[in-house]
Amino acid sequence: MRKRLFVAAITMMVFISIHSIAYAAGSFYEGKTIRIVVGFSAGGGFDVYARLLSRHMGKHIPGNPTIIVENMTGAGSLISANYLYRVAKPDGLTIGHFVGNLFISQLLGQPGIEFDARKFRFIGALAKENAVCILTKKSGVSSVDKWRTSGKVVKLGGLGPNSILDQVIRVLKAALGLPIQLVSGYKGTADVRLAIESGELDGSCWGWDSISTTFQKSLKAGDVIPVIQAVPKPLPDLPQLPLAINLAKTDEARQLIEVGIHSNGIFSRPLVLPPGIAKEREQVLRKAFEDTLKDKAFLAEAEKAQLNLEPTSGEDLEKTVTGIFKRDPVILAKLKEILFK
């Protein structure tokens, strides 16, 4: 009898606690506006996913705040990441959406990093970064075998040393010996896409979710061709496309691909909160994110836009980011040489 009363009391306390947090959050968020600060230009993959989330997540936050997207470009989204850490108030009204490769950049001691990734708080991620390299039909290279044997140097577009594009390209060039000229400095993947379509670039490498969405027509027409995928196992859409890891000829090359590309896949598209945010507001936003993933209207819009969802929880993002700081120092030293020489 006493045990049942004790359990009932604990259950009631938890119930009251949850509803108290929701009530407090509702009181705070009512009439407020939340910004999702995207580190890349409008029209790119990060921007598209952020705007999808902004149209649905507000109704799952007590108080139903408005959510808007603000683009803060520069240095492969480093400017926005530094802004979130150093300037944004930890009040639950600013969410950062920048490339998670910056966490590796911090680990490798890249100049310009003004944050400690371990102090950020994580809401979750809508998709993983399943890196695929594409080349145009005009480049004359239609497969990775032809790329390797022809010796033709192709121009691939990047955003900056901290971006997923640059890091995938640099690692593949070093690990597989692919003939590449990296042309970096574009403001976002939308700008890279325009440069590819105009013939200024031969292609690039970044997330298949973004590529398959923004290059739909070009892919169907055969004007853009996937040639290699830098993922641990083949993607459902590309079951026969060669894996970069299988083309590596040495153990060092395989480790560079695993550490420099695969490990970034989980946290490369994080939704991040500034350090110091109150725990209850972090919990409210994490729950709202999880609830949005079950929202029929959200899922229907994602399907209509052909946006692939491969979500990761805030808890898993936190564990993964913490884990990269325990990597093999020998491989990290080699990776640093490749990425930032």
SS3 sequence of the chain: CHHHHHHHHHHHHHHHHHHHHHHHHHHHHCCCEEEEEECCCCCCHHHHHHHHHHCCHHHHCCCCCEEEEEECCCHHHHHHHHHHHHCCCCCCCEEEECCCHHHHHHHCCCCCCCCCHHHCEEEEECCCCCEEEEEEHHHCCCCHHHHHHHCCCEEEECCCCCCHHHHHHHHHHHHHCCCEEEECCCCCHHHHHHHHHHCCCCEEEEEHHHHHHHCHHHHHHCCEEEEEEECCCCCCCCCCCCEHHHHCCCHHHHHHHHHHCHHHCCCCCCEEECCCCCHHHHHHHHHHHHHHCCCHHHHHHHHHCCCCCCCEEHHHHHHHHHHHHHCCHHHHHHHHHHHHC
If asked whether residues 165 and 184 sit together in one domain, one would say yes
If asked whether residues 230 and 288 sit together in one domain, one would say no
Our count of domains for the chain comes to 2
Per residue of the chain (341 residues), give pLDDT as tens.
Answer: 555 554 454 544 444 444 455 555 668 999 999 999 999 999 888 999 999 999 999 999 999 999 999 999 998 899 999 999 999 999 999 999 999 989 988 999 988 999 999 999 999 999 998 999 999 999 999 999 999 888 899 999 999 887 889 999 999 999 999 999 999 999 888 899 999 999 999 999 998 988 988 899 999 999 999 999 999 999 999 999 999 999 999 999 999 998 889 888 889 899 999 999 999 999 999 999 999 999 999 999 999 998 889 999 999 999 989 988 888 899 999 999 999 87
Last residue of a domain, one of 225, 245, 264: 264
If asked whether residues 282 and 175 sit together in one domain, one would say no
If asked whether residues 158 and 216 sit together in one domain, one would say yes
pLDDT tens digits, one per residue of 119-168? 999 999 999 989 999 999 999 999 999 998 888 999 999 998 878 899 99
If asked whether residues 140 and 209 sit together in one domain, one would say yes
In a domain, 332, yes or no: no
Last residue of a domain, one of 220, 246, 264: 264
Q: Give the residue numbers spanning the domain of 242.
A: 131-264
Last residue of a domain, one of 242, 264, 286: 264
If asked whether residues 255 and 206 sit together in one domain, one would say yes
